[in-house]
Amino acid sequence: MGMHIEFRHLRTIKAIHDYGGLARAAEVLHITQSALSHQIKGIEEQAGVELFVRRSKPLKLSAAGLRLLAAAEAILPQVAALEAEFAGLQDGRAGRLHIAIECHACFEWLFPVLDQFRKAWPEVDVDIRPGLAFDALPALRKEEVDLVVSSDPEDLPGTDFTPLFDYEPVFLAASSHPLAAKPWVEAEDFAGETLITYPVERPRLDVFSQLLIPAGVEPAAVRQVELTAVILLLVASNRGVAVLPDWVVREVRLNSDYVTRKLTRDGITRRLYAATRSADTARPFMAHLIRLARQEAVRLQRR
Amino acid sequence: MGMHIEFRHLRTIKAIHDYGGLARAAEVLHITQSALSHQIKGIEEQAGVELFVRRSKPLKLSAAGLRLLAAAEAILPQVAALEAEFAGLQDGRAGRLHIAIECHACFEWLFPVLDQFRKAWPEVDVDIRPGLAFDALPALRKEEVDLVVSSDPEDLPGTDFTPLFDYEPVFLAASSHPLAAKPWVEAEDFAGETLITYPVERPRLDVFSQLLIPAGVEPAAVRQVELTAVILLLVASNRGVAVLPDWVVREVRLNSDYVTRKLTRDGITRRLYAATRSADTARPFMAHLIRLARQEAVRLQRR
DNA sequence: CGCACATCGTGAGACAAATTCATAACCTTC
DNA sequence: GAAGGTTATGAATTTGTCTCACGATGTGCG
């Protein structure tokens, strides 16, 4: 017995009930009274139940009809909500913005940015996915995420890399540390040191990719720590040295426990990018997020 | 503009997701792969959103597609439940049984009957509607209720009156009451008495319809009381006399506080009927309820 | 890297279903 | 019991959905 209820029927039932009669309901639904009559005849035949009490003339719902009405009133709002959301997607109010960050320290500036963003774009579904930090660009192309924060732009068709801001990876040690005596540090200086890093693969850490790997230098030990605050703690107590972005280091610059030094004489400059699908780059909320990120970067530099 | 989502589309989305691809989904839905392709093209055009990521070949849901899937998984079970209920209606497992009782004392035997009934017919929506006790038969015809317990059968087309059981309205007084001396009571005996009744219109009370109105006798006073237990209390303390069905009176017969007397020398016999729409009378659960009611009546008589 | 394979998209025509028009049947009311 | 309003019906038409056949596009394997 293949029943064939459709949204059309739910709308019809509700309209007939709300407006009390086929003629009125037909007008509201922009179809003829005849069509409605045929429609309910159709459902009644398919479902094998009488939906209306026919004795009285202003057509009244029967028990089964009332049950169907209840279903209509439960289901139709859900569809309305769905349509509203899709309308939002269409005119750019709504959307999904799942962010993958390759650089671990980026949480620091990203959170305040997202707080602001959420207020401006309440209908956008914002999320951070630190899990798939590796392989982030393929995930972007497959639409598993919508924005990747990365410092290694590639020339991929369909993927745009929009510069966010420049930063400098900076050497950080306790003020009592021997290397504090040097005006800057070189790759070779790390050979005898314990290096404290975030727990990610080496090629994605600036110290390694920009300095140690090219120079072929291996630190005496590498210790991986999740939280920035803990890294700072360990460095202060001389359990190792670290390399962190300048915006992180700036917070402890005035603290006499630490010294900061450039990497190489001229320092290393890195640029952070927002990678997005070309189709999305120009979307208003995406552009707005990038603008907010740049503003936040400026604020961090000024601190 | 006017979005045109239908259950078909929800099922399609779900199937494509569950079975991972058009071809598989098409097989499950018993239609061609081409049809599905046309379908999703249709929704995407109407809704103005991409539902799938097309880069990769085993067609994957996009953000909007996932939203639609969520809607599908919320809505489809509701429809399934509805269809199951209608199937129940069709094969007689389910239905509505809203009962109007004209006779106020009938609660006494009706409740235990309904308790039994509910166990046997869990899918039937049982209810008692004492509110519309008057005008119950029109309400039956209009399908506002499905069964009326009445002692005044009428010859209405489309309405069946099935006898339930006979009972006798019995005079009840305190054993110290003067009328306790008589072997039976007549209409004239009420002239000087305070009569305690249920709070309903006189024509629907046996004392009035069968005895006092035909005889043109008016009691000294009429006091209306809702609860049977309270009526008994008032009678025991000699604040008035009452007329109650024998099955109620039977409970206090052996109590020496009360006397019961026939109305007129031969007593009055009344018959209780279940009034139903002819279309419903033969339905299994309806017939079962009537059978249960008769059994309960027999049990009451035996007490 | 390219070929075979699998998956998806498209257009035209066949088919089914929903709607309309015109009108009949029905209930209600005065 | 006639009038007015409300629902039902039948045939024709419109609308929309599906199928068929083929083209386009990725995917995986040698």
Q: What does the pLDDT look like over B94-139, one tens digit per residue?
A: 889 999 887 777 887 898 999 999 999 999 999 988 766 567 888 8
* DSSP E strands, chain A: 52-53, 60-61, 95-101, 124-128, 147-150, 159-167, 169-174, 184-185, 194-197, 221-224, 241-245, 258-263, 270-277
C1' nearest to CA of A23: which nucleotide? Answer: D6
pLDDT above 70 (res A217):
yes
Q: Do A78 and B87 touch (CB under 8 A)?
A: no
Average pLDDT over residues B274-289: 91
| pLDDT score at B3 | 56
pLDDT above 50 (res A2):
no
Query: How distant is the Cα of A7 from the closest Cα of chain B, in angstroms?
Result: 6
Helix (H) or strand (E) holding B27: helix B22-29
* HSE-CB of A106 using CA atoms within 13 angstroms: 29
Does the global pTM surpass 0.75?
Answer: no
CB interface of B with A, residues 106-145, below 8 Å: 125, 141-143
**Domains plus CATH for chain A?**
7-91 (1.10.10.10), 95-165+270-302 (3.40.190.10), 169-263 (3.40.190.10)
C1' nearest to CA of B54: which nucleotide? Answer: C8
Instruction: Select the residue of A48, A60, A86 nearest B49 (Cβ to Cβ).
Output: A86
Q: Do A64 and B86 touch (CB under 8 A)?
A: yes
Rg (CA), chain B: 31
Average pLDDT over residues A199-228: 90
Helix (H) or strand (E) holding B42: helix B33-47
Chain B residues with CB inside 8 Å of A53's CB? Answer: 142-143
| pLDDT score at B2 | 43
- The pLDDT tens digits for A97-129 are 999 887 777 887 898 999 999 999 999 999 988
Q: Which residue has the tokens 């989502």?
A: B5
Searching chain B, which residue's CA lies closest to the CA of residue A97? B63
CB interface of A with B, residues 57-76, below 8 Å: 60, 62-64, 67-68, 71, 74-75
- Give the residue among B100, B87, B179 at the shortest CA–CA distance from B138: B100
**Is A62's CB less than 7 Å from nucleic acid strand D?**
no
Q: How far is CA B85 from the centre of its chain?
A: 18
Chain B contact for A90, CB < 8 A? yes
**Is A42's CB less than 7 Å from nucleic acid strand D?**
no
Average pLDDT over residues A161-168: 92
Confidence class for position A1, pLDDT limits 50, 70, 90: very low
CB-to-strand C contacts below 7 angstroms: A 4, 6, 8, 30-32, 34-35, 38-39, 42, 55-57; B 21-23, 33-34, 37-38, 40-41, 52, 54, 57-59
Which candidate in B61, B93, B143, B156 is best for mutational testing of the A interface (most A CBs within 10 A)?
B143
- Find the residue closest to C19 using CA and C1' atoms: A35
B273 touches B151 (CB < 8 A): yes
Inter-chain contacts counted by CB atoms under 8 A, chains A and B? 91
**Is B85's CB less than 7 Å from nucleic acid strand D?**
no
Separation between the CA of B7 and the C1’ of D12 (whole angstroms):
29
Average pLDDT, chain A: 89
Which candidate in A3, A8, A82 is best for mutational testing of the B interface (most B CBs within 10 A)?
A82
A180 touches A259 (CB < 8 A): yes
Q: How many CB atoms lie within 10 A of CB A287?
A: 14
- The pLDDT tens digits for B187-210 are 999 998 999 998 888 888 899 989
